[in-house]
Amino acid sequence: MTPEAGWVPDTALIITGGAVVLAVPVTFLVARWVAKNVDHGEARFDTRNRDAADEDMTK
């Protein structure tokens, strides 16, 4: 329908629709960037399944 026929798009609806359309691609772009650029490190555990990087390993 055209605006002349009495249908006027709601601004909030247009903004929400645009956000929904962009949400998935932007999420994957950010996830790929984080996976490539953020140092995730590597956890090492001892035989008791404690973090080997802990300072106090005597207990």
For the stretch 20-41, pLDDT in tens is 999 999 999 999 999 888 877 7
Percent pLDDT > 70 in the chain is: 68
Instruction: Break the chain into its structural domains and give their ranges.
Output: 3-32
In sign, the C-alpha dihedral spanning 27, 33, 38, 39 is: positive
pLDDT value for 17: 93
Give dist(CA 46, CA 59) in Å, integer: 12
pLDDT at 2: 56
Distance CA 25, CA 38 (A): 20
pLDDT the model gives residue 37 = 87
